Structures are given as structure tokens and as C-alpha cells.
A = this chain, B = another copy of it.
Amino acid sequence: MRGLELRSLATRDGQLRLSLEDATPGEPGPDELVVRVEATPINPSDLGLLIGPADLATARAEGTPERPVVVADIPTQRLGAIRDRLDQSLAVGNEGAGTVVAAGDHVRQFLGRKVGMLGGGMYAELRRLPARDCILLPEGADVADGASMFVNPLTSLGFTETMKAEGHSAIVHTAAASNLGQMLNRICIGDGIGLVNIVRSQAQAELLHAIGARHVVDSTSPGFQAELTQAIRETGATIAFDAIGGGTLAGQILQAMEAAADRGAGYSPYGSNAPKQVYIYGSLDTGPTVLHRTFGFTWNVGGWLLTPFLQKAGPAVAARMRQRVADELTTTFASRYTRTISLRDALQLDTLRDYERKATGEKYLIDPSR
């Protein structure tokens, strides 16, 4: 068996090269499957590996219609941040779904079935991987439903699990109208967890209100800081998950939490003792995080990633989370895609620039079998 595979190569001399290469998945081992990939999403987390710090304004098309190639420049000062990947051709695509076309001796029961997969290299016609990294799609779910059953569902569930494990009782979420944000709303509404949604436009606010969100704050509103403080006061949120990373928003959330906190008796120049936690889990803004420290000394800002979280939570929690995703795949954890494209489409300049913009509400799905 052979198939095409999308590859991303960043070179030492500052070039990004995206291409389609022939790949042979090889025979499955006893516990392995070979899957024909039929649906794989373009998540913000995939773009880091796919495009990295390249400047798409410099992107140009090379290759042939059958084998398109995109080349773009990487500014020299950004090469240091990716030195570990330079001159290596990398497969891309965190998760996907498709049909099992070959199965090892121990996992024959998967043959011909549709599965969701996690493990990288999904932007490919064929993918060989351990059966334990696959989940059988439930009755009535198709590959588009199963394509995104790991990253966003486990991340949004991971937020509520982290909230509980660290002793908080309500959440602030930014870029909250995203697919992930909508999922988080469905989880929190279902589980009775207070959620403050921060969005960047009135249209996004309306989208969230339409699916039942109760607390939505628009960061472009002139009264944003006061409105955020009020929503935090009403929900008691002391933990935030921030997809944006750059700019002043993380600090503004901490300031609102401090303003909403009970400061106890008497004045302290050190602020309240109320816990205040912001986790940055994305980098929609890759600029610096700027914290105006107007929130005392009891605060914390850190990175949050799904894989280390799952490792820390342990296999029992991870299994419970995966089971819930499978049970509620077409309801709580439903994803919507605005466009489905082929592997070749993914390397057309216009299309590439379009999905790289990460516009809220737009979501691309690649079908490598097209």
C-alpha cells in the first residue's frame, strides 16, 4: 500500500516547504491498524507544526497541479525558536477519522470499521498506528463526527477537570465562540458549571447566547473591564483558560478576579489572598503576554497542554473522559465544519491563507481520500 502524505520542512536557511510525498505505511504489527484517512480537521494546534513561524505574505506556489508545493520565508530571528525541527521533514495532523483497511492479528475485529484516531501525521491518505490510539465510532456517527473526537473534546473536558482538581468552581474562557468554546458551553450548561465567555465581537456574543450561554462579555466593549468583573462576581470564577496568550487580556482577567474577590478585613498592599489562576493554552496572539500587576501577590499564570494534563490526571480519569466523548459525540462534542478540502486543496495559496487566519466560526476539514 502507498499513499500521499503532507509534509512540512523548515530549513536552516529560513525556508518553509510544504509538499505531498509518497509514503508507505508498511504492514501493521499485531496490535496495529492501517486506516484510510477520510476526515482530519485543521486545528489551531496543527498550524504551529504546519506553518510554524513562516511569513505567509511571502508564500509562493511551486510544483505541479498533481503535486503542489508551497514555499514561504521564515524570518531569521524566528529560526531559534524552532531549531529542533530544522531540516527535518515532518508529518502533520493531530487527529482524524477513517476506515480500517488492514489490521494486525490481535485487533482483527477493527477491520472495515470506522475509527477516530489521535497521534499525528493524519494529513495522509493512509496511516498506520496502534489500535489503542483509535476509538470505534459509535452507531450513527460518520467520519466527520469522529475527526475531532480527541483534541477539542478532551481539552474542553480537561478544563472542567482541572477546575475541579485545583479547587475552583467556575471558569473564564477566552476566544469563547470557537468550536472548542461552544463545546465548553455545552459541557458547563449540562454540568451546572458557571462559565464566563470572553468574545471579540457582538456577532460572537449572539452566537453563544443562541446556544444558551449565560455570561458573555465582549472585549471590544468600552465597559469591558467592569462587565468582566461583574460576570466573575456572579459566577465566582477564579480560574481562566486563555487561547490568545499575547497582550493584556490574561492580566485583565486577574485584575477582574481581584476586584471581585473578598479582600477580608483591613488593607494590605499585597492584595487579597483569593486564588487567581490563568492558564494559557493557545497562542492566537503570538506577541508577548503583558501583565500589569494590579492584582496583588496571590496569582498564577501558566501554560496548559492536553497531553501533560492527561498524564497527570492518570488513566482512570482519561478513560472516563474518552468514554463521555464517545457517548456524547454527536451532541455535546459535535463539531461543525464550514468547508471540506482535499490534500491538494490544502496546498493552494488562497486556501492556505484562508485557514491560517483562524477566523472564529470557520473550520476546515481535510478529506485525504478525495
Contact = CB atoms under 8 A, between A and B. Distances in A.
Interface of A: 48-49, 52, 80-82, 84-85, 88, 90, 245-246, 248, 251, 263, 267, 269-270, 273, 280-281, 283, 286, 288-294, 296-305, 308
Given A288-B292, A288-B293, A301 B301 contact: yes
Contacts of A269: 48-49, 52, 82, 85
A294 B305 CA distance: 15
A297 B293 CA distance: 21
Contact of A267 (B88, B280, B300): B88
Given A90-B267, A267-B85, A298 B303 contact: yes
B300 A280 contact: no
B297 A305 contact: yes
A295 to B, nearest CB: 8
The CB with the most chain B CB atoms within 10 A, among A286, A294, A302, is that of: A302
Nearest to A308: B273
A298 B289 contact: no
A288 B88 contact: no
Contacts of A305: 270, 297-298
B297 A281 contact: yes
The CB with the most chain B CB atoms within 10 A, among A52, A88, A290, A303, is that of: A303
Given A84-B267, A88-B267, A267-B84, A297 B304 contact: yes
A177 B297 CA distance: 23
A293 B301 contact: no
A280 B263 contact: no
A22 B118 CA distance: 72
Contact of A280 (B52, B88, B286, B293): B293
The CB with the most chain B CB atoms within 10 A, among A82, A301, A308, is that of: A301
A343 to B, nearest CB: 21
Contact of A293 (B82, B245, B270): B245
